[in-house]
Structure 1
Amino acid sequence: MPDPTPPGVFVKELPSGVRMITGASTSVPAFLGYTKPSANDDSEANPQPFTEAERTVPQKIGSWREFAARYSVPGIAKELADATDPAAIHALQRCLPLAEAVHGFFANGGGACYVVGFTGPQDAVPPEALKGNTEARSGLAGLETVPEVTMVAVPSLWDMTADVSAEKEAPAPDHAAGVDRMNEVVRHCTEQRNRLAILDPPPGLTPAQVGAFADTLASPDTDDAAFTTLYYPWITVPGVDAVERTVPPCGHLAGVWARTDAERGIFKAPANQNLRGALGIETVLTDDEHGELNAKGVNCLRVFPDRGLLVWGARTRSTTRDWRYLNVRRLVSYLSDSIRQSSTWAVFEPNDERLWATLRHSVSSFLTDQWRQGALVGRTPDEAFYVICDATNNTTETTADGKVVCDIGVAPVRPAEFVHFTITQIAGESERTT
């Protein structure tokens, strides 16, 4: 800095050298489902509709208005009003669950989402097509290049199990085929490690049937179960085309997750929250039915007097102690993703004590902030987490291989799922006589 000529106060800014860790994305879902194959009838929309090719790759959507214009939602409603062929009607109706899910996401507090479309609503989608192709960026494989996605939902999944027909009634979903498609979604989330699957059981099931269906999914003691959530029952909505219908709740729940993250933080269980944009639920549950489903890892939607429709469960399908609760699994994924993304500066740095100390300081500062926000248990940071990055775990062999090892342990806050009160009646003293 040159010497100042006039009198005054001058400031010189110097880099501190401190490496900060910033939080990764937590509230961005990806929705996969049927969309209109053609956008010709929406040519005057603003913004312009996506082409058929554009609809098959991940597209970021920032509002319901944008989705309606980009994916020709008004055109679907118009064609449905004019259609008379049962097969055409069934195909158009299959485009609405995706629209309802996106609408429910934004209605419940969501900020942005990704959409991957399938433009052949008249045809079933086999598991291989749902899995997609990395080069074509189709299906679930297309989401591998979108690291900010933290939730995956397929509102059209049960329609994907069968072709449409000329019959008056829509084809019934194939439960076994649906489980195969669910497995692809769960496999994708497990491999990516930073996102969870929001799944819906088949429509029209009783509580007992849902419990039996949950038993057909991946075993609850596997790694896959920790990245899986299942919600029941389906919900009734006003309809994006002003026609009431019953739809899977996955889109609305993604919005609840996003709203909870914004209002409280990712460490807060996304439950005991109102479900906005829903008129009711397909099945009203009793406490006993809820208890049986809760034990199987099924999160229930309940209606309570004077409180309305609430999300009344926050579990993964895992039965292991570490990953039983949804907020714990999401928190650990968030911490891992944040540290990984913000530590890429360390690549090719000299692998010595100065690097280890910088990593320890960066990670400890980040975790201390999380502890202060209430994400970790402990009276002090030392009780809430530990960070080891020194000569004890960075040996001569690991440094010779170009590796830096940083061992981290955290104590997440678990939800108070069962609150018990003890009430004791104390008999009054007998009156004294004089």
Structure 2
Amino acid sequence: MPKFKHPGVYIQEIPTINTSIVAVPTAVPAFIGYTQSAACQKDGDLHLTPTRITSFAEYCRLFGQSEAEPLHLELTSTPAGIVLKSTTPVLPRQMMWYAIRLFFDNGGGECYVVSTGNYQSSLTLSALSDGVQVTAKVDEITLLLAPESVLLAAADYQQLVNFMLSECNRLADRMALFDLPDGDKTLSASLLSTNRAYLGNTHLDSGACYYPFLTTTQRWQSARYHQHITVSLDNGKTTQLSQLKTDDPALFKVIESLLADLYVSLPASVAVAGAIALVDATEGVWKAPANVQLRGIKHPMISISDTANEALNTDSSTGKSINAIREFSGRGVRIWGARTLAGNDNEWRYISTRRLASMVQESVQKSLNWAVFEPNDANTWARITHSVEQFLISLWKLGALTAASPDDAFYVRCGLGTTMTANDVHQGIMNIEIGMAVIRPAEFIILKLQLHSQQA
């Protein structure tokens, strides 16, 4: 609008272009899975719709609660009395309610939920794949999780992992977090090799994997509903818990006391996603999400020794690093690894490096939209270079880049003879090269971006 100086005379305001780089959010996970409901205005209107939530209460309002599901207890008699030998299933089939709660308990903030069906729906590769696919519509998402994937058949799990990794690689702005399907078992060399094989062989830098499953402080919802619980005694007899209340009140009371100490186990990745959000908010995306204490966890389902940890962390043949969750006396349960699946890749071995690079690339790409409407000339290239340099200086000051001075911490190139040919300029192509000295692996990583001028 014109600005009047005095009657009959006005000065036309010339719009200014904001050339500063604004950092994009870095820890916005999408949880893909089955929910009790998916309703905002009407039943089912949120089905396969990425929906942003900021609290567990909001999740419950839109996607419902957890319901009682069949639970089988195998008991055995010992000199000390009757003890619980095993629980079936190991993980709840209705996992999302527990998972979202654990995410927020560990410092998670905003996230997206994609409901792929209700609790009566069959768990299928097709439904989870559809859920992954629709997340591409939301540019804000930076992490992908499908915790129920560990319940799929091995071939379906492998196919879903490959699809999630390919989507993360294609979009170049997110990572996938996985769990080993045998997260409740002690891994022999052969079983570890089998689980590694499930993780595919391509785009490994776009994902990270965690082991073992974690026993949480959340109680099974089924424990409140005796008619959903069956009990096997070591005499071979199986009965409903509700029937025992009449047939054997003394045994019923013993089992009730065992139920009071029965806690839900979950894949570790959901807690890790919350910890990543907390680390990003308090320290920055460049801080490795490791040596972080997890909340709401009683203990890992499997105790990991230093030797086992080393076998998880490195693999000379496949390079697929698995991040351990370990419990330490006096220090609690902690994330004890910060590697992507690309454990043999010197450039993209670390989660923090991969995520920092993605953040820088996405932030620069989005913030330089103004440049596509400018002439593809030296003046525009200089403004681009200056904007990116100022952004990287701010990251260096925060400790994201390792060097004594900005000159040693990064470089930015954009211009004829350095990143562009005369033919590139003629076609309106602006190439930008960014080199950053990241903390890990303590050497320069190179990012290459391309803009297309509308004035070509």
Q: What's the TM-score, normalizing by structure 2?
A: 0.75
CA drift of 1:405 comes to 1.3
Paired position in structure 2 for 1:255: 274
Is the CA contact (8 Å cut-off) linking 1:237 and 1:280 kept in structure 2?
yes
Paired position in structure 2 for 1:196: 175
Q: Give the whole-Å Cα distance in 2 for the aligned partners of 1:154 and 1:254.
A: 12
| Uncovered stretches (5+) of structure 2, i.e. residues with no partner | 7-12, 72-87, 224-262, 316-320, 443-456
Q: Give the whole-Å Cα distance in 2 for the aligned partners of 1:81 and 1:207.
A: 28
Q: Give the whole-Å Cα distance in 1 for the aligned partners of 2:159 and 2:134.
A: 19
Q: Give the whole-Å Cα distance in 2 for the aligned partners of 1:273 and 1:240.
A: 24
| 1:356-396, Cα deviation, whole Å (9 max, x unpaired) | 11101101110111111111121111111111112213332
Is the CA contact (8 Å cut-off) linking 2:279 and 2:289 kept in structure 1?
yes
Q: Give the whole-Å Cα distance in 2 for the aligned partners of 1:186 and 1:385.
A: 29
Q: Give the whole-Å Cα distance in 2 for the aligned partners of 1:66 and 1:38.
A: 12
Identity of aligned residues (%): 33
What SS does structure 2 have at the residue aligned with 1:158? helix
What SS does structure 2 have at the residue aligned with 1:70? helix
Q: Give the whole-Å Cα distance in 1 for the aligned partners of 2:127 and 2:187.
A: 31
Paired position in structure 2 for 1:285: 304
Query: Structure 1 counterpart of 2:100, which letter?
Result: V
Is the CA contact (8 Å cut-off) linking 1:100 and 1:240 kept in structure 2?
no
What SS does structure 2 have at the residue aligned with 1:239? strand
CA drift of 1:218 comes to 2.0
What SS does structure 2 have at the residue aligned with 1:330? helix
Paired position in structure 2 for 1:236: 215
Map 1:51-200 onto structure 2 (within 5 A): 51-73=43-65, 76-77=66-67, 80=69, 93-95=92-94, 97-132=95-130, 139-159=131-151, 161=152, 174-200=153-179
1:384 aligned onto 2:384: no
Is the CA contact (8 Å cut-off) linking 2:347 and 2:441 kept in structure 1?
no
Is the CA contact (8 Å cut-off) linking 1:268 and 1:415 kept in structure 2?
no
CA drift of 1:128 comes to 3.9
CA drift of 1:239 comes to 2.4
From 296, 321, 325, the counterpart of 1:301: 325
Is the CA contact (8 Å cut-off) linking 1:100 and 1:251 kept in structure 2?
no
| 1:115-166, Cα deviation, whole Å (9 max, x unpaired) | 111215445454443332xxxxxx122111111111000011133x2xxxxx
Query: Structure 1 counterpart of 2:426, which letter?
Result: A
Is the CA contact (8 Å cut-off) linking 2:176 and 2:207 kept in structure 1?
yes
Paired position in structure 2 for 1:205: 185
Paired position in structure 2 for 1:340: 365
Bigger shift: 119-128 or 197-206?
119-128
What SS does structure 2 have at the residue aligned with 1:377? coil
CA drift of 1:16 comes to 6.5
Query: Structure 2 counterpart of 1:131, which letter?
Result: S
Query: Structure 2 counterpart of 1:411, which letter?
Result: A
Query: Structure 2 counterpart of 1:217, which letter?
Result: L
1:400 aligned onto 2:423: no
CA drift of 1:55 comes to 3.0
CA drift of 1:14 comes to 8.9
Is the CA contact (8 Å cut-off) linking 2:29 and 2:142 kept in structure 1?
yes
CA drift of 1:2 comes to 7.3
Is the CA contact (8 Å cut-off) linking 1:268 and 1:327 kept in structure 2?
yes
| Uncovered stretches (5+) of structure 1, i.e. residues with no partner | 5-12, 40-47, 83-88, 133-138, 162-173, 417-434
CA-atom RMSD, angstroms?
A: 2.6
Paired position in structure 2 for 1:25: 25
Paired position in structure 1 for 2:200: 218
What SS does structure 2 have at the residue aligned with 1:230? strand
Query: Structure 2 counterpart of 1:119, which letter?
Result: G
Is the CA contact (8 Å cut-off) linking 2:35 and 2:117 kept in structure 1?
yes
1:352 aligned onto 2:377: yes
Is the CA contact (8 Å cut-off) linking 2:50 and 2:114 kept in structure 1?
yes
Q: What's the TM-score, normalizing by structure 1?
A: 0.79
Query: Structure 2 counterpart of 1:56, which letter?
Result: L
Is the CA contact (8 Å cut-off) linking 1:101 and 1:250 kept in structure 2?
no
Q: Give the whole-Å Cα distance in 2 for the aligned partners of 1:125 and 1:363.
A: 46
Query: Structure 1 counterpart of 2:324, which letter?
Result: C
From 398, 422, 437, the counterpart of 1:373: 398
Paired position in structure 1 for 2:445: none
**Cα pair distance change 1:255/1:49, threshold 3 Å:** farther
Is the CA contact (8 Å cut-off) linking 1:107 and 1:255 kept in structure 2?
yes
Q: Give the whole-Å Cα distance in 2 for the aligned partners of 1:410 and 1:364.
A: 11
CA drift of 1:217 comes to 2.1
